[in-house]
Structure 1
């Protein structure tokens, strides 16, 4: 095998690994959204950031989840719970919409993907 062929094979392998991780992270985000609403009383859950676009998600990307209606006293328990749903090594940011600044709220509402809505 020559140098170029070897590198092409390695790049294809890396891309497949990244794709599998993306799929696992998206599946975990769906489970997290369901738990946030059903177990922790949130009203609406959004996915934002690199996990919304497959080509933007990389091996060291984190997962950004915005949530509305989650009571402050349930935040850390909910965060701890949803961390356990994701593959090892993926960090999760849980952003309460009630605490977000106007710019972030706007980004969530215009670019975010609604994962779960209690309505």
Structure 2
């Protein structure tokens, strides 16, 4: 039995209406999302200029608006910060005045699976 794609699409829209519903983006959520990106960029600038990071990438919910919530944090992966300065770098960015928890990981010192995920889905700043 062959079903035309249009009929199949209509069937799924009726059977799973929430899947196809256009949900308006909450203004408060959008503002928080933009603030999170701004703080991520500010943190990346500090990590590069003050601590010698060769690369900084955002990963986690901030890279996907559909996964971002009012409670999301800012996850940063960093490359090139000397081991002796890593915790000072973390302190500098986690101490930024912000409504966000900022998490920083050394991308060269984490599980391979996480590193691969960051490299494929992360957004370099």
TM norm structure 1:
0.78
* 1:40-59 deviations in Å (ceiling 9; x for gaps): 11110010000011221111
The answer to which structure, 1 or 2, has the higher relative contact order (CA under 8 A, 6+ apart) is: 1
Contact 2:29–2:69 (8 Å) recurs in 1: yes
> In the alignment, which residue of structure 1 is the partner of 2:117?
107
Q: Does 1:16 align with 2:32?
A: no
Segments of structure 2 that go 5 or more residues without pairing to the other structure are 1-23
Give, in angstroms, the shift of residue 76 of structure 1.
Answer: 1.8
**2:38 corresponds to 1:31:** no
Moved over 3 A (4+): none
After TM superposition, the structure 1 = structure 2 runs for residues 15-94 of structure 1, keeping only pairs within 5 Å, are 15-85=26-96, 87-88=98-99, 90-94=100-104
Cα offsets for 1:40-98 (capped at 9, x unmatched): 1111001000001122111111111001111122122211211233522x111111012
Tell me the matched-pair count: 103
Contact (CA 8 Å) 2:29, 2:70: kept in 1 or not? yes
**Counterpart of 1:47 in 2: which secondary structure?**
strand
- Aligned CA RMSD, in angstroms, stands at 1.9
How far, CA to CA, are the matches of 1:47 and 1:22 in structure 2? 13
- Normalised to the residue count of structure 2, the TM-score between the two structures is 0.75
Unaligned runs of 5+ in 1: 1-11
